[in-house]
Amino acid sequence: MLLLQLLVDGLQLGALYALMAVGFAIIFGSTRVFHYAHGTTYIIVGYLFYYMTERAHVPWWLAAALAACAGVIFGVALDRYVYRPIQRDEGSFFTVFVASFGVGVVAENLVIILFGASFVSISTPLTRANDIGGGIVISWLGIASMLVAVALFAFLNWFLGRTDVGVALRALSENPELVRGFGLNPRKLSQYAFAIGSLLVVPAALVATCVTGLTPTAGHRVVLISIAASIIGGIGSLRGAGLGGLILGLAESLAVWKLSTGWSEAVAFIILFCFILARPSGLFGTRARV
């Protein structure tokens, strides 16, 4: 019974991880930017949502929409004003990574100054557990997060498969030179990648604010999980990244069955490590760049 409950919890967690991971994978795949500040987007969205609902008493749907906008603007602005100037000078991936990390450090400490270093969370009746038969419990928020994940994946499938921008983004991750040859502007496309990628962090940030609470340092974990999931799924494969996220969420939840909760945090990275050892190209990786 415990096992089944952990499975249900893991699915909720995994759905949110999958969204974050796909967000990272879209950005990394099409722009080659090692976007460590992906976790910073999460912090910004979460804390804005907290501030607006708990302190400014904005209705929750408006707060969520505004926070999502802020996250998208942050991602796009970062691409335009930080990553682009660096890439213009032929910066290697590590130069971009360091700058991205620096942005994360600045944002993290601004949040500490504004909100303090301890947990903040929003109390809502939606997190109360409902018995769905056989002693298995799930909250409305858990159901909502899984539905949102399914909806967003359906949207992504349509967007990347059917729209011009989506097709161009996939092309960009395959062959940037060819995209340029077709007269498309990779710079403009990368803005779309950052907008969508940042948007996909929003559900996880909003749910986490209500369920587990936020700390200023939570961003590290978010981005590491996203990166780990994209590597497990295979760099370049969005479906792989989603599946990787789901696996990590399930594994983290199921680990509680045998291990104390302190250790379960490390489970995701042990899985990542096994993958790097045994199959660096990931589950669906086509081009193992080893």
Give, in degrees to the nearest 5, the angle at Cα 192 between 59 and 20.
60
Subset of residues 55 to 94 that bind another protein, contact rule: CB under 8 A: 82, 85-86, 89-94
| 4, 62, 77, 106: which one binds another protein (CB under 8 A) | 106
Residue 61 contacts residue 248 (beta carbons within 8 Å): no
Q: Does 169 bind another protein (CB under 8 A)?
A: no
Three-state DSSP state, 214? strand
- Measured from the CB atom, is 91 or 186 closer to another protein? 91
- Measured from the CB atom, is 8 or 86 closer to another protein? 86
Candidate ranges 13-21, 197-205, 244-252, 275-283; the one touching another protein (CB under 8 A): 275-283
Distances (CA, A) of 220 to 4, 107, 147, 235: 29, 12, 26, 20
Shortest Cβ 256–another protein spacing (Å): 14
Subset of residues 5 to 24 that bind another protein, contact rule: CB under 8 A: none
Distances (CA, A) of 72 to 21, 192, 228: 16, 10, 22
Cβ atoms within 10 Å, residue 273 = 12
Q: Which helix (H) or strand (E) holds 159?
A: helix 140-162
Residue 26 contacts residue 249 (beta carbons within 8 Å): no
Three-state DSSP state, 10? helix
Question: What character string, x for contact with another protein (CB under 8 A) and - otherwise, covers 227-256?
Answer: xx--x-------------------------
Shortest Cβ 98–another protein spacing (Å): 5
Q: Does 286 bind another protein (CB under 8 A)?
A: no
Cβ atoms within 10 Å, residue 269 = 13
- Measured from the CB atom, is 96 or 156 closer to another protein? 96
What residue ranges bind another protein (CB under 8 A)? 34, 82, 85-86, 89-99, 101-106, 108-110, 112-113, 217, 220, 224, 227-228, 231, 260, 262-263, 265-266, 269-270, 272-273, 276-277, 280, 289-290
